[in-house]
Amino acid sequence: MKRRVFLKGISATAGALAFPAIAIGQQYKAEYKMSTVVPPAFAWGKGGEIFANLVRERTAGRINIKQYPGSSLVQGDQTREFSAMRQGVIDVLCGAPINWYSTVRELAVFTLPFITPDHKALDAVLANKPVMDEYFDLVRKAGAEPIAVGETGYRQISNSKRPIIKPDDLKGIKIRVVGSPMYGEIMSTMGANPTFMSWADAQPALASGAVDAQENPLEVFLAAKINNLGQKFVTKWNYSNDILLFAIANDSWKTWSAQDQKIVREAGVDAAKQQIGIVRKLFAEDVDRVKALGVDVHVPTAAELDTWQITTRRVYARWKAQVNTSLISKIEQVVEKTRKA
Ligand code: X2X
């Protein structure tokens, strides 16, 4: 009975293509749709491309993941990715949980201001099995099988008006943010005027001067050539760094053989490792590369960083409670140990 229902559903959508000869006996789709906000010219989109290619090669084409950059499966609205995955529009996620806050806020644990202030702290968290097991269970409960975790990169402020050295310098600046309302609150706390918009809308808004500022990893700044959109000042304050989560919609995952599941998991782990390598190489070079474009880059001193942290502390506490108090406390403990080491 179940199978009849399944066949009916398939014939209405994908027709005979849903049964490539190679997958006889298994209900594999001809194509698994993967959403990424940015294309492979960016480290993040490249991670998606690497994953899809490894899966295709290692399954001899049984699992064909097709990348749809620009969040095109959700008409550019990256905040809808997770709900679209639940609805069957997206099969493979390769994204930042901050974007999915309105659907699964409990997954936004990595992005609180300065929670992992450097790569040493982030690596300790990502290598901590109890933390990651708990996180992966949340992903599973939310409707997807977590495969691997990459890194979207430390987010830095850029703007068209002036150097941002201290929180006060943000007063009155119109800044584009995305995803979690936490980002809006961080900016308001410092006197900026945050406005939420998708990545697709951000670039025209920067170009026209509708907004003065944005925050993104500098690899995104470089790949999107944001300096050409009037952004002349950058502050490398490393305030937030989301993971890049590779995950498969439960509905697709459960149709794959155990052998293919294993292949996909290993491919995801390999892709994430490569993707992190790309992001970190760019992170090491980004100040020089952005400066070479004629952009003023400020790298805060330790004392300046303290001021930023103190200013965002109340926002941190409020959002810790909103997002996932217990898991965030565990992450804090892991990070704390790296401070002493
Ligand atoms: O839209 C952004 O700023 C980006 C690409 O960084 C995210 O998807 C969070």
**What are the tens digits of pLDDT across the range 93-120?**
999 999 999 999 999 999 999 999 999 9
Q: Is the CB of 199 under 6 A from ligand 1?
A: yes
* pLDDT at residue number 5: 40
Cα of 179 vs centre of ligand 1, distance in Å, is 8
Q: Is the CB of 55 under 6 A from ligand 1?
A: no
* pLDDT at residue number 21: 43
- Distance of CA 285 to CAs 23, 280, 292, Å? 45, 9, 11
- pLDDT digit string (tens) for 293-303? 999 999 999 99
Taking the CA of residue 37 as reference, the ligand 1 atom at the shortest distance is: 8
Cα of 258 vs centre of ligand 1, distance in Å, is 34
- pLDDT digit string (tens) for 122-139? 999 999 999 999 999 999
* pLDDT at residue number 313: 97
* pLDDT at residue number 198: 97
With 0-12 CB in 10 A as exposed, 13-18 as middle and 19+ as buried, what is 182? Answer: buried
* pLDDT at residue number 23: 46
Testing ligand 1's pocket by substitution, the residue of 72, 77, 78, 279 carrying the most ligand atoms inside 8 A of its CB is 78
How far is Cα 289 from Cα 222, in angstroms, rounded to an integer? 8
* pLDDT at residue number 128: 98
**Helix-then-strand count for the chain, H and E:** 12, 10
Cα of 242 vs centre of ligand 1, distance in Å, is 10
- pLDDT digit string (tens) for 2-23? 444 444 444 444 444 444 444 4
Q: Is the CB of 245 under 6 A from ligand 1?
A: no
Cα of 156 vs centre of ligand 1, distance in Å, is 12
- pLDDT digit string (tens) for 11-67? 444 444 444 444 444 689 999 999 999 999 999 999 999 999 999 999 999 999 999
How far is Cα 228 from Cα 226, in angstroms, rounded to an integer? 5
Cα of 288 vs centre of ligand 1, distance in Å, is 22
Neighbours of 303 (CB within 10 A): 7
pTM value is 0.92
- pLDDT digit string (tens) for 268-317? 999 999 999 999 999 999 999 999 999 999 999 999 999 999 999 999 99
How far is Cα 282 from Cα 275, in angstroms, rounded to an integer? 11
* pLDDT at residue number 135: 98
Testing ligand 1's pocket by substitution, the residue of 98, 178, 195 carrying the most ligand atoms inside 8 A of its CB is 178
How far is Cα 105 from Cα 98, in angstroms, rounded to an integer? 8
Residue closest by Cα to atom 6 of ligand 1: 216
pLDDT (mean) for 303-332: 97
Taking the CA of residue 99 as reference, the ligand 1 atom at the shortest distance is: 9
Q: Is the CB of 96 under 6 A from ligand 1?
A: yes
pLDDT band at 340 (very low <50, low <70, confident <90, very high): confident
Residue closest by Cα to atom 1 of ligand 1: 199
> Which of residues 6 and 166 earns the better pLDDT score?
166
How far is Cα 131 from Cα 335, in angstroms, rounded to an integer? 12
- pLDDT digit string (tens) for 195-246? 999 999 999 999 999 999 999 999 999 999 999 999 999 999 999 999 999 9
Taking the CA of residue 152 as reference, the ligand 1 atom at the shortest distance is: 6
* pLDDT at residue number 11: 42
Q: Kindly give the residue spans of alpha helices, DSSP state H, lying in the chain.
A: 2-13, 43-58, 81-86, 119-126, 129-142, 181-189, 199-208, 218-223, 250-253, 258-291, 302-323, 325-340
Cα of 99 vs centre of ligand 1, distance in Å, is 7
Domains and CATH numbers, the chain: 28-153+242-284 (3.40.190.170), 156-240+286-327 (3.40.190.170)
